[in-house]
């Protein structure tokens, strides 16, 4: 008899985006002349940078010629990309990361999902609330939680991000073993200071824990005092794995390229308490289960680090940040408490006592603007909405004008 992994049955069906689509469709049917502006989805809208497109074309031409054709590449990624990443993203900021500590992949979603299979199921996992749902669901699938009751899975430690802590979770008061952090944050758009991040690194050392640091939005950081990488913190290499992606900085959401950094000194422990290095384990997993990102895509990703690529990706993120600033300014002027939007494409907005969906319906029905209800990201998201800067400036201007007229 073939039996299933019953942990999958604990998963909560995610109706968030289906519910949003349903309400938007109903609104469109009732208001066919009213064009809806979408500031809900966490996907980029601008085309790939020229430098990447050129590199992609050239690499495709190489594949079309026997003399330059490439078959299977190294599973961990080509040296030209790993070296460019190590140099530009880490060494240039004083973080001593080597090329062979970079594992190129097809997405930070897959990597943040897959990493947890290196660890036992009886560890204590700490996950922020509100959160990118991938961290949560993959631990449910692996059997690290009990059933879902009253908005939460049993057996996990939730790290609340609320107004009281400025949406930066405080250290757990109990022992936890695996900690998920994401800064700049999705969905709240908040950032963490070096001092606060250093407290998490110190916690991990003290408690023999491991931090999984998702830095998918680092390219939006403009405040130079903020850490772009956890490895800017002393001692982080022993206790942290970092996830990066070309999705949000260079528009690779449909092109697919990302990477994970596993420093050679990063460690976990076996059941006797003996230290075990994570690098060889992740290398083994990656080589066994993954066959590398396609050569043309890696060439396109490497072009991000060319002079033109750097200028063009900065142009993209500058554009989204300009949208974010406008959203934050207008919503603040209307009297809403907002965080995020200055070093992040997301703005997290307090509904002034409204339920998340009530706030969603109000923006949709009165202004024709689609947001994401905060409750979809966890219990602490109730009462909030997320507005995203991923749209054209014209559309964001129009959306803010409409919200101003409807609510002002």
Ligand X SMILES: *Cc1c(COP(=O)(O)O)cnc(C)c1O
* Torsion angle (degrees, nearest 10) of CA 186, 404, 392, 370: 50
| Residue (119 or 252) nearer to ligand X, CB | 252
Check residue 389 and report its DSSP letter.
Answer: -
Closer by beta carbon to ligand X, 216 or else 399: 216
- Other beta carbons within 10 angstroms of residue 202's beta carbon come to 15
Q: CB of 256: closest distance to ligand X in angstroms?
A: 7
Question: Sign of the CA dihedral 58, 62, 68, 69?
Answer: positive
| 137 versus 214: smaller Cβ distance to ligand X | 214
Residue showing tokens 């078959």:
71
* Minimum CB distance to ligand X, residue 401 (Å): 28
Which residue has the CB atom at the shortest distance from ligand X? 107
In angstroms, give the least distance from the CB of 140 to ligand X.
17
Shortest approach of ligand X to residue 345 CB, angstroms? 10
Which residue, 113 or 170, is less far from ligand X as judged by CB?
113
Closer residue to ligand X, CB minimum distance, 188 or 356? 188
Cβ 254 to ligand X, closest distance in Å? 9
- How many whole angstroms separate alpha carbon 213 and alpha carbon 196? 14
Q: Which residues bind ligand X (CB under 6 A)?
A: 42, 107-109, 132, 182, 186, 214, 216, 245, 247-248, 253, 258
Q: Angle, nearest 10°, between helix axes 307-333 and 393-407?
A: 10
H helix or E strand, kind and range, residue 51:
helix 50-63
In the complex with ligand X, the residue whose CB is nearer, 183 or 203, is 183
DSSP secondary structure string for all residues of 66-107: TTT---S--TT--HHHHHHHIIIIIGGGT----GGGEEEES-
Contact 53, 314 (CB under 8 A): no
Contact 376, 308 (CB under 8 A): no
Q: Quote the least distance from Cβ 222 to ligand X, whole Å.
A: 19
For the bound state, the minimum distance from the C-beta of residue 112 to ligand X, rounded and expressed in Å, comes to 6
Question: Do the bridges between strand 258-261 and strand 267-269 make them parallel or antiparallel, or are there none, so unpaired?
Answer: unpaired
In this complex, which beta carbon is closest to ligand X, that of residue 177 or of residue 242? 242
């Amino acid at each position: 008899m073939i039996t299933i992994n019953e942990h999958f049955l604990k998963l909560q069906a995610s109706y968030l985006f289906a519910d949003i689509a349903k309400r938007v469709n109903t609104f469109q049917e009732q208001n066919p002349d009213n064009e809806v502006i979408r500031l809900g989805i966490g996907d980029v809208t601008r085309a790939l940078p020229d430098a990447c497109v050129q590199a992609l074309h050239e690499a495709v031409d190489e594949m079309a010629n026997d003399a330059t054709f490439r078959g299977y590449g190294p599973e961990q990624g080509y040296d030209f990309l790993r070296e460019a990443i190590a140099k530009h993203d880490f060494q240039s900021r004083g973080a001593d990361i080597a090329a062979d500590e970079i594992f190129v992949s097809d997405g930070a979603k897959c990597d943040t999902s897959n990493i947890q299979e290196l660890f036992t199921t009886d560890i204590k996992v700490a996950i922020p609330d509100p959160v990118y749902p991938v961290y949560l669901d993959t631990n449910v699938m692996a059997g690290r939680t009990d059933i879902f009751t009253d908005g939460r899975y049993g057996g996990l430690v939730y790290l609340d991000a609320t107004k009281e802590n400025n949406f930066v979770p405080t250290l757990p008061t109990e022992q936890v073993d695996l900690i998920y952090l994401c800064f700049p944050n999705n969905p709240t758009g908040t950032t963490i200071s070096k001092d606060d991040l250093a407290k998490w690194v110190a916690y991990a050392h003290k408690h023999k824990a491991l931090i999984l640091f998702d830095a998918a939005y680092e390219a939006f950081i403009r405040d130079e005092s903020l850490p772009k990488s956890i490895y800017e913190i002393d001692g982080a290499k022993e206790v942290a794995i970092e996830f990066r992606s070309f999705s949000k900085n260079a528009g690779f959401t449909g092109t697919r390229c990302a990477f994970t950094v596993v420093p050679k000194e990063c460690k976990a422990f076996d059941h006797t308490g003996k230290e075990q290095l994570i690098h060889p384990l992740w290398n083994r997993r990656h080589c066994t289960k993954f066959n590398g990102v396609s050569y043309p895509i890696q060439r396109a990703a490497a072009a991000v680090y060319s002079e033109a690529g750097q200028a063009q990706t900065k142009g993209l993120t500058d554009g989204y940040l300009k949208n974010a600033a406008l959203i934050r300014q207008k919503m603040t002027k209307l009297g809403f408490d907002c965080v995020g939007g200055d070093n992040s494409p997301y703005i997290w907005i307090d509904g002034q006592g409204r339920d998340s969906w009530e706030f969603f319906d109000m923006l949709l029905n009165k202004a024709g603007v689609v947001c994401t209800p905060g409750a979809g990201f966890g219990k602490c998201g109730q009462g909030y909405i997320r507005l995203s800067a991923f749209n054209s400036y014209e559309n964001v201007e129009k959306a803010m004008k409409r919200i101003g007229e409807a609510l002002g």
